[in-house]
Amino acid sequence: MGPLSYTGSAMKIAVCVKQIPDPNTPYALDPGTHFVERPQDQVLDDTDRYGVEIALQLAEATGGTVTLVSMCPAGNLQGIRQALAMGAHRAVIVNDPALRGSGALVTAKVLAAVLRKEEPDLVITGTESTDGYTGVVPQQLAELLGLPSLTFARKVSQADGKIRIERMTANGYDVVESPLPVLLSVTSGVVEPRYPTFKGIMAAKTKPVEQPTTADLGFEPGQVGPAGSAQEIIGVRAAPERGAGRKVVDEGEAHLEIVRLLEQVKVI
C-alpha cells in the first residue's frame, strides 16, 4: 500500500480519538474475559481533546475538514459527540463486538483500513489512551500507511505543505519537520483545547456518524479480537498492596512529623 498523497491546500484531517469509561469512576473488569467493562455513557479521552484542537486550528487556517476516526464500543456516542461539539465535521466509528479484546496492532489495522478510504493529508493522534495506554498505535498506523511520523509533539506549526513540531526527547526536544501526508501524535498540553459552545453541542447531535463493521472494512473474523491479536491474557491478579501509613491532620505542628520521618530515613 503506497503512501497517502497530499493534493491541495485545504487540509483534510483525520483525528483518531477514543471514548473511554469516565476515569473518575472505578473501572470494573469482566471476570470471564478480564476486559474493562464499557458502560453506555463514556467520555472523550481527555488526552484526545488536544489533537482535536490542533486539527480544528489547522483546518480553520487552510479551509479544511476534520473527521474523527475511532474504534470503540459506540454506547450512546456521548464521548464522540463531545469532540463533534468542539467543531469536528463528522465521525467514522468502527463499532463491532468482534473487536472486543483486540490488541494494539489489530486496533491500528482497523483504523488504517478506515484511513485508507478517507485519504487524509494529516492523521492526528494522542500519544496513548488513558485506559489502555499501550502507546504504540500511532507508530503502527504510520507504518501501515507508509507515512512519516511526527511523534510526541509539544508544539505544532504548518507552512507550505509541511508540518513542523517540537518532538520531546529524553533530555529536551528536537525540531522535526515533515512534508504531508504525515501522522502527527500530540502530547497533552500542546495547545489549550476549546470548550464546546452551546451552538456546537446542539450541532453535534445531527452531525454524521458512520458506523462500519469490520466486515465492511474487509476483515475476516479470525483477523480481529483476541484471535487476531496473537496474544492472550492468562491471568489478572491484585498487585502487592502498599499499605497506607499514618494520616495526621495539620493543626500547626504537622511539619514536625515530616521532619521526624526524614530523620528516621536519614535524609536530614
38-77 residues near other proteins, rule: CB under 8 A: 47
The residue count for binding other proteins (CB under 8 A) is 84
133 near other proteins, rule: CB under 8 A:
yes
What's the grid cell of residue 60? Answer: 480553520
245 near other proteins, rule: CB under 8 A:
yes
Nearer to other proteins, 199 or 267 (CB): 267
Q: Across-strand partners of 179?
A: 162
**Shortest separation between residue 169's beta carbon and other proteins, angstroms:** 6
Residue 48, sorted as left (phi over 0), alpha (psi -120 to 50) or beta, turns out to be alpha
173 near other proteins, rule: CB under 8 A:
yes
Calculate ∠ Cα 255-261-265, nearest 5°. Answer: 145
C-alpha–C-alpha distance, residues 121 and 65, integer Å:
10
**Shortest separation between residue 134's beta carbon and other proteins, angstroms:** 4
Question: Whose grid coordinates read 476486559?
Answer: 35
Q: What residues numbered 16-35 form the site for other proteins, per CB under 8 A?
A: 23, 27, 29, 34
Q: What residues numbered 181-200 form the site for other proteins, per CB under 8 A?
A: 182, 187-189
CB 107, CB 142: distance < 8 Å: no
What's the grid cell of residue 132? Answer: 489502555
Binding window for other proteins (CB under 8 A); candidates: 9-17, 58-66, 70-78, 139-147? 139-147
Given 19, 42, 125, 127, the residue binding other proteins (CB under 8 A): 127
Nearer to other proteins, 77 or 104 (CB): 104
160 near other proteins, rule: CB under 8 A:
no
Binding window for other proteins (CB under 8 A); candidates: 82-90, 175-183, 196-204, 207-215? 175-183
Q: Across-strand partners of 122?
A: 13, 182
Q: Cis link prior to 181 (omega < 30° from 0)?
A: yes
257 near other proteins, rule: CB under 8 A:
yes
Calculate ∠ Cα 41-47-50, nearest 5°. Answer: 115
**Shortest separation between residue 257's beta carbon and other proteins, angstroms:** 6
Given 82, 95, 151, 158, the residue binding other proteins (CB under 8 A): 151
137 near other proteins, rule: CB under 8 A:
yes
Residue 161, sorted as left (phi over 0), alpha (psi -120 to 50) or beta, turns out to be left
Q: Across-strand partners of 15?
A: 68, 124
